[in-house]
Amino acid sequence: MRRFTLTTLRDFGMGRRTIEDKILEECDYLIKDFESHKGSPFDTLKMMNAAVSNVIVSIILGHRFDYEDPKFLRLIHLINENVRLSGSPTVMLFNMFPALGFLPGNHKTVFSNLEELYSFIQQTFIKYLKQLDPNDQRSFIDAFLVRQLEEKSNPNSYFKNENLQSLVSNLFTAGMETTSTTLRWGLLLMMKYPAVQKKVHEEIERVIGSARLRYEHRKQMPYTDAVIHEIQRFANILPMNLPHETTEDVRLNGYVIPKGTYIIPLLASVLYDKTQWEKPGEFYPQHFLSTDGKFVKNEAFMPFSAGRRICAGETLAKMELFLFFTSLLQRFTFQPPPGVTSADLDLTPAVGFTTPPIPHKICAVPCR
């Protein structure tokens, strides 16, 4: 399923110019939404989720949704709620002791939300099945259904409806939640550190000006690139990574980890490692800059995890983060609401499976 997913995502433009154009189109819709507030305070949660979701939705379903589409908003709500509740004590307890599932708790809401999400996916791909043309594959779902037809005589095929439900659900959740949460942290940090925001604005003005942003500009913008990397490191939105499992007995530092052991690799231990970062507890873009201002990599930067099970959407996420963040900073200066100073802004993360910023409002003031 992973191999199929990566191949299909690439076929539909992940990492290439076709998906870049879709992201930039979505940036334009998002900018209009920001402009509609005319500098007044607003919460970015709904619109940021919608914009980022539309990129992955365009691959999965072959079209985008309007930000006010009630079906779209319902799907985003289901995913947001599940991500938030998955970090709650009752869900964690259920994960450790599934036999306690009969007790009341947030795990029941999570399962109910998943049923509704799966129902939507089921209805969608049944509709797609009726219109399926193997020679004209419009979306990820089309590609899956074509493979399903090709392998219908294979009793061991992985191309079953249940796997399609899980794949689409996982792509939708991962493709929205992580990137939109990182972007929301980014705008909050720009308000918190206006001197950093000013330097980003200066680099954008120097390299791009009012021209159309392209992903290739990233190579000419080491400071902006460093800021985006530092947002990812500092925000640490998936501190406990995703759970993994050993496929064979492993020896590590004198210990034996048996095959089938449940593993939770703590990304936070690397992203905040005092031996790897000069100021691990602070937002410090210089972590990714040389003394002469060039971008430098750091092996301890692994927000996408590492190894063979690294995030399947890493290349898409990197492109989205640069294009969304830079296009917003090209058009706006971000300030706290009236009566709130930069010093007042709270960087304490909220509770959830990912760690978003606590609810806050921003003011997007046009640069020109």
Domain extent listing, the chain = 2-238+290-366
Please tell me the pTM assigned to this model: 0.92
Q: How many other CB atoms are found less than 10 A from the CB of residue 304?
A: 18
Residues 236-283: pLDDT tens digits? 999 988 888 999 999 999 999 999 998 888 999 999 999 999 999 999
CA 202 to chain CA mean position, Å: 27
pLDDT in tens, the chain (368 residues): 999 998 998 888 776 778 899 999 999 999 999 999 999 999 999 999 999 999 988 888 888 889 888 988 898 899 888 888 888 888 888 888 888 888 888 999 999 999 998 888 888 777 777 777 888 888 888 899 899 999 989 999 999 989 998 898 888 888 888 999 999 999 999 999 999 999 999 999 999 998 999 999 999 999 999 999 999 999 999 998 888 899 999 999 999 999 999 888 899 999 999 999 999 999 999 999 999 999 999 999 999 998 888 888 899 999 999 999 999 999 999 999 999 999 999 999 987 778 999 999 999 999 86
Token readout for 236 is 């640490």
Q: How many other CB atoms are found less than 10 A from the CB of residue 216?
A: 9
- Measured CA to CA in angstroms, residue 292 lies from 10, 201, 208, 289 at distances of 36, 19, 21, 8
Q: Could you give the CA distance from residue 17 to residue 334 in angstroms, rounded to a whole number? A: 29
**DSSP character at residue 350:** P
80 closest CA partner among 217, 172, 10: 172
Residues 301-351: pLDDT tens digits? 999 998 888 888 899 999 999 999 999 999 999 999 999 999 999 999 987
Q: Could you give the CA distance from residue 350 to residue 356 in angstroms, rounded to a whole number? A: 6
Q: Which amino acid appears at position 362 of this protein?
A: I
CATH architecture group of domain 2-238+290-366: Orthogonal Bundle (1.10)
- Measured CA to CA in angstroms, residue 251 lies from 246, 254, 258, 270 at distances of 11, 6, 9, 21
Count of all residues that appear for the chain in the document: 368
